Chain A
Amino acid sequence: MRRLLPVCLGLMLSVTSVVAEARPLTDDGRLTFSGFGTLGLVHSNQGDAGFIRDISQPKGADKGWSARTDSLLGAQVGYRLTDELDAVVQGISRYGEDGNYRPEVSWAFLRYRPDPSVQLRVGRLGWDVYQLADSRYVGYAYPWARPPVDHFGILQLTHIDGGDVTFKQPVGSDLMLLKLYAGRSSSKIYLIDDLSADFDVDSVYGGHVDYETGPWRFRTSYTEVHSDVGFSGSVADQIEQIPFLALDADTVLGDIFGFDRIRLFSLGTLYDRGPLQVQVMWNRSQTSRHEGQIDSGFVSVGYRIDRVTPYVVASRVETSSTNPDNSDIDQRTWSLGARYDVTTNMALKAQFDRIDTRSPGFLWRQDDSDWNGGWSSVFSLGLDFIF
């Protein structure tokens, strides 16, 4: 604690600071401590439904201001055992599936790098399902107030307990990268009013191929998630209370949502050269029933002028199936914002979203279930930092 205290104080007081993310705690530099955080405020004009950052959040930001949606704090401890082997533990406190800020272990893994071409990791790992997905809570790492909700907000998992292996191969001055991973996981997502789905993921596996050439980074990836899904909430209770039918809510709802087997296929491109940053991504998730699928994607363009990076984002998410119901999502978002780098470890952000919700599905929290979409304006202010 005596060592952590100066670090925290230094963070609060530092106005200009030359930061190396990993702060050595021991003289030999083997043990390091670092962290990230966001203080975020959201203002919504939508009185009929609550705005959420992702489907793990049980309650949304109602009309007016809320600090709950985006504020979070994360910390990482690293220990280098040898030049090839190190251990990383990372925790995060954010408003998530439990409806509180109880800290959770995001990652805890051993990393083995016998050679620059190969990396093996075993333990709890970030779910690297598509580009930026495993750093979506690190606000300092991206220009936006939050990653586009239409694309990242629908993700079911944050981590996997298992292993991954990454191979890198230079191709001339380009670089090719192959990553394969497998493991188990669990998570809880909130669907329509007072109905949540508990994912007990027996197996999640997949991989991706990256190709990096100059400022371009392309990725194509594939993932499968096999789960036992349990449903809870008043909707599930009502199904089981229907007289004479003796229905099992998990079976009935499982048949509607088809979450027991989800396949994700995605494409992404990042362009980063000097002041210009462009991100383009697309994902298709297929569920196991009624040819259900979730298509999402976004385009983001930012241009840095000295310390300010203005950006625009257009994103979209749409579900489809042969059995439409009120959990279907159809939404487009236009965002305009700017990031201002106050110091080399702290950034201020302001973002304005115009959201065209044609079917809210489980991307909004609503007490009034009559709301079936409309236009909303969301204004966000954020302070992102690393230490």
Chain B
Amino acid sequence: MNRVQRLLIASTFSATLVVAVPVSADIAVVGNAGSGIDRLTQSDVVNIFMGRYRKLPTGNVALPVDSTTLKARFYRALVNKDLAEINSYWARLVFSGEASPPQQIATIDDVHQLVTQNMNALSYVDGGQVPDDMHVVLMLSE
């Protein structure tokens, strides 16, 4: 078996994996590839997206970004809550003037642009469709 054949087999194998991932449908929490952050724990991500504590391990201020198309899946996987509960949670913090919710971005392209341009941005994408220029800091299983 020559090198080309091995490469072909390997790529076929990984292509199968890529196809298989959306079935298990995980959510990938992603950041900027150059952010210097390797991994975040689930409680780090809860703290950042729920407005409790927004400091990154690098010391910078995290900029959480909600992707409105995936928002329901993300919060179900992160804190087991639906969007009405998330809005109820934020209503308390916003109208007591204590904290602000993540920035809301409607299209996946805009989320991609924001995360790749801002060193401290964090968002989430479908676990099966992580773009090469985004860095996965946490996988949330659904």
Which residues of A approach B to under 8 Å, CB–CB? 18-22, 29, 34, 36, 74, 76, 78, 83, 88, 90, 107, 109, 111, 115-117, 121, 125-126, 128, 132, 134-135, 138, 140-142, 168, 170, 173, 175, 212, 273-275, 304, 307, 341, 343-345, 347, 386
Contacts and interface: CB of A to CB of B under 8 A. Distances in A.
Given A170-B55, A307-B84, 7 more contacts: A21-B94, A22-B94, A116-B55, A121-B97, A135-B92, A135-B95, A344-B82
Contacts of A116: 53-55, 61-62
B18 interface: no
A134 B99 CA distance: 13
A168 B96 contact: no
Nearest to B43: A173
B101 A386 contact: no
Nearest to B95: A138
B62 to A, nearest CB: 8
Given A76-B95, A168-B53, A274 B101 contact: no
B101 A22 contact: yes
A19 B84 CA distance: 9
Contacts of B100: 22, 78
Contact of A140 (B71, B83, B88): B88
B14 interface: no
A83 B71 CA distance: 24
B10 to A, nearest CB: 38
Given A21-B101, A274-B80, A126 B96 contact: yes
Size category, B interface: 20 to 34
Contacts of A126: 96-97
A111 B91 contact: no
Interface of B: 41, 43, 47, 52-55, 61-62, 66, 68, 71, 79-85, 87-92, 94-98, 100-101, 103-104
Most B CB contacts (10 A, CB to CB) among A170, A212, A307 go to A170
Contact of A107 (B61, B89, B97): B97
B90 A21 contact: yes
Contacts of A175: 47, 52-53
A91 B80 CA distance: 33
B41 A88 contact: no
Given A18-B68, A115-B55, A116-B61, A125 B88 contact: no
5 contacts: A18-B71, A29-B103, A90-B97, A138-B95, A141-B89
Given A115-B61, A141-B88, A128 B95 contact: no
B55 A386 contact: no
A307 B41 CA distance: 29
